[in-house]
Every structure is written in structure tokens, then in C-alpha cells.
Structure 1
Amino acid sequence: MITAYVVGEAVTVLAQEIMITPISPPGADKLINLVNYLSWIVMLAGIAALIYAGGKFGWERFHGGAVESPKIILGALVGGIIATSAGAIMNAVVTGGV
């Protein structure tokens, strides 16, 4: 009987909600600025990869040979999707999916 009471009290204590008010750490503005620059670089690299793959696709089509450019295009598209949705994914992870 005492064990059930102790377990019940422990569950009551563990079930209490802890209120946390988030604040920005010092230097957060510089970090956000750096992340914005990195996201621009990733987007430009993806666009450059698509342009390169498009030119290579035309070259391979015109001259024949092994076709490697669809792999490059697919890689650039998948990388772009992951890069552009990274902010939304991290936001969902941090806020708990709300």
C-alpha cells in the first residue's frame, strides 16, 4: 500500500508542467546572420549545380556516351529540398511539432 502511494506521489511530481521562457543567447544576431549567409551560399551552389548539370546533359545528349547528368540534377534537387526545408524541420523539432 505504501509503495502505491509513493509511486502515485512520484508520478504527480513528475507530471507537473515546467514553464520555460526562452531568451536569445548573447551573440545570437551574429549567428543568425552567419546562417543566413550560409543558406544563400547553399542556394547558389544548388543553382550552379543545376546549370552545370543542364549543360552537361546537353553535351552528353549531343555527343553521346555515358549519361551522368540526371544523377547530378537529382542530387541538386534533393539537396535543395533538404536545405530549404531545414529551417522548418528544426522549428518543428524545437517546438515539439506545434
Structure 2
Amino acid sequence: MSWILSAAEHTSMLAQVNNFTPEAPPGTRGLTKLVQWLMWFVLLSGVSAIIFAGGRFAWEKWHGGMLESPKMVVGALIGGIVATSAGSIMNAILDV
């Protein structure tokens, strides 16, 4: 009978645990700035890749070569979608 009371006591203690939210440790301002710069670079390279693939598409179409640039456009678009939604993806994975 005492183990039932002990189990009930532990269950009530588990119900009192707070739901904590993540917080950046002190001194991470520089790291946050670096991540923001990296995200800017990724977005810039994605836009550049789409512009390059569009120009290559026109070049291939004009000269009658084999069209490989649509794969480049699709790859750049998928990469951009993954890069810009990285924060949402990590929140979905870690929010278990």
C-alpha cells in the first residue's frame, strides 16, 4: 500500500514541472550576427543561381543544345526553399 502512495506522490511532482523555453546564452550576439550573414549569402547565391540558370536556358534554347538548365532552376528553387525554411524545419523536428 505504501508503494501506491509513493507512486501517487511522484506523479504529482511530475505534474509540477514547468515548460521551459529556449534562451540564447550570454555572449552569442556575434554568433547570431554570423548566422544572419550566412543566411544572406545563401539567399544571394540562390538568386544568382536562378539568374544564371535562366541565362543558360536561353543560351541552350537559342543554340539548339540539350536542355539541362531546367534541372538547375529546379535545384536552385528546392535549395532556396530548404534554406529559407531551415528555422521552421528545426523547430518542427525539435518540438517533440
- Give the TM-score of the pair, scaled to structure 2: 0.77
Match of 1:74 in 2: 74
- Classify 1:8/1:61 alpha carbon distance in 2 versus 1 (closer, same or farther; 3 Å): same
Paired residues in the alignment total 96
Say what the alpha-carbon RMSD is for the aligned residues: 2.6
Gaps of 5+ in 1: none
SS in 1 for 2:66: coil
SS of the residue aligned with 2:35?
helix
Q: What code does the residue aligned with 1:47 have?
A: V
Task: Report how far residue 23 of structure 1 moved.
Answer: 4.7
**Residue aligning to 1:30:** 30
2: CA distance, partners of 1:86 / 1:21 = 19
Structure 2: runs of 5+ lacking an equivalent: none
TM-score (norm 1): 0.76
User: How far has the Cα of 1:19 moved from its partner?
Assistant: 5.8
Consecutive aligned runs of 4 or more in structure 1 exceeding 6 Å deviation: none
Partner AA of 1:64 in structure 2: G
- What percent of counterpart residues are identical? 50
Counterpart Cα distance in 2 of 1:39 and 1:28: 17
- How far apart, in 2, do the equivalents of 1:55 and 1:19 lie? 52
**Partner in structure 2 of residue 63 of structure 1:** 63
Counterparts of 1:1-98 in structure 2 under 5 Å? 1-18=1-18, 20=20, 23-91=23-91, 96=95
